[in-house]
Amino acid sequence: MSQKLRVGIISANWGVQAHLPAWRANPDVEVVGICTAHQHTAEAAAQATGIPRAFWDYRQMAADPDIDIIDVGTRPNLRYEMCMAALAAGKHVYNGVPFADTMAHARDLHAASTSAARVAMVDAYSEYLPPLTLARELLDDGAIGDLFTVTATLQMSLFNSQVSAFPYNWFWNKTAGCSALRNLGSHTLNALYYLFGEVSEVVATDDIALKAWTFVDDGSTVTPQVEDTANVLLRFAKGGVGVMAPAWCAIAGRGFTIDAYGSKGRLLIEGPGMPGNETRVYRARLGEHTLTEVVVPDRLKRREGVGMSAVRGEANFGDGPVYAMALAFNDMVHAIRTGAEGRPSFSQAVKTHAAIEAAHLSAVERRWVRVNEMLTASV
């Protein structure tokens, strides 16, 4: 292995916008390859980003001996084969969210990462955001005492009034493996996992509320095949219950919120959109009747060994997704060097994905579903 770990990115969209600057924030890493589906797009992306090598076949990237880590973007239904090829070739893997398009694929990915003994992490970057790190510190210090209940939302208006060229319009297609619950719910649930631990049981509704997506620029319409609004009741293994409500057709939606009540206080995390920029933390102690903001300390907005100059100029620097991903990548490098697992790992991802799929199943069968059912059943 070379002195620097060498990364190949599959995706010229979000992979270039967010992952590339986050990788480049780590001086122990060099991004050496980028892969898209076509030669001309791969070569154009490589030239535009200064990445030395272009690939248009993920299998060639996975087999390349000069690449140590494969960062797998693209659609959920395509990522499975890419991750499996990378793990089979002995690469470390960073996989997108949602973790998989089916429960069977989620179990396969976890088993393959375990068999390969590679560091395998999922792009649930929220736990690296300074406000979430602060919230975890407050919880560990007993800010709310025993958890009674938590309400979590990730509600956005993505497709109510959208243009036909929006790069994620393919979300409507069921074969892609998306839904508001799988996408937004996965981000929310991984954050809840980080703060409150594993979910043991769920009951849910999961619906298509917006029956047609009409694009404002040309008037064209698609009929979505996947659910856009979910409401999930959660039981946590350590005690306490929660309500999770992801939606991507919520006009003036609440954005990202986690509102927890316990025996000693209340903790509120909220932001206007995806977890990241402008996310704030508030608390109230036993006997208090109003919330007080807890300011994120500067020590959580920097880390030694993460090259800040690589992401300076980003609007969300030190606060948002790019910085959080840079920290996640930094931990991945450390895990590779030391033989640790890295986080959030595929071991966590398969459990949170199982909770998501349990919620889907609950909505169909109208019953409580234990998460372990999904981890063991042939579904």
Task: Give the DSSP letter string of 237-298.
Answer: TTS-EEEEEEESB-TT--EEEEEEEESSEEEEEEESSSSSTT-EEEEEETT--S-EE-PPPG
Residue 373: how many other CB atoms lie within 10 Å: 15
The single-letter DSSP state of residue 6 is E
Structure tokens at 320: 């948002």
3-state DSSP call for residue 129?
coil
- Count of alpha carbons within 13 Å of 198, Cβ hemisphere only? 13
How confident is the model at residue 270, as a pLDDT? 97
Distance, CA of 179 to chain centre:
14
Structure tokens at 307: 């090259």
How confident is the model at residue 314, as a pLDDT? 42
Of 212, 215, 210, nearest in space to 165 by CA: 215
How confident is the model at residue 340, as a pLDDT? 93
| Rounded Cα–Cα distance for residues 190 and 146 (Å) | 20
Structure tokens at 110: 């976890």
3-state DSSP call for residue 199?
strand
Domains within the chain, CATH numbers bracketed: 5-125+340-346 (3.40.50.720)
How confident is the model at residue 343, as a pLDDT? 95
- The answer to whether the bond into 272 is cis (omega within 30° of 0) is no
The single-letter DSSP state of residue 352 is H
3-state DSSP call for residue 137?
helix
The single-letter DSSP state of residue 18 is I
Query: pLDDT (tens digit, 0 to 9) for every residue of the chain, 379 residues total?
Result: 458 999 999 998 888 889 999 999 999 999 999 999 999 999 999 999 999 999 999 999 999 999 999 999 989 999 999 999 999 999 999 999 999 999 999 999 999 999 999 999 999 999 999 999 999 999 999 999 999 999 999 999 999 999 999 989 999 999 999 999 999 999 999 999 999 999 999 999 999 999 999 999 999 999 999 999 999 999 999 999 999 999 999 999 999 999 999 999 999 999 999 998 789 999 999 999 999 999 999 999 888 888 755 444 443 345 578 999 999 999 999 999 999 999 999 999 999 999 999 999 999 999 999 999 999 865 4
Model confidence pTM above 0.85 = yes
How confident is the model at residue 316, as a pLDDT? 39
How confident is the model at residue 304, as a pLDDT? 85
Listed in sequence order, the residues at least 6 apart from 235 whose beta carbon sits closer than 8 Å to its beta carbon are 199, 200, 201, 202, 241
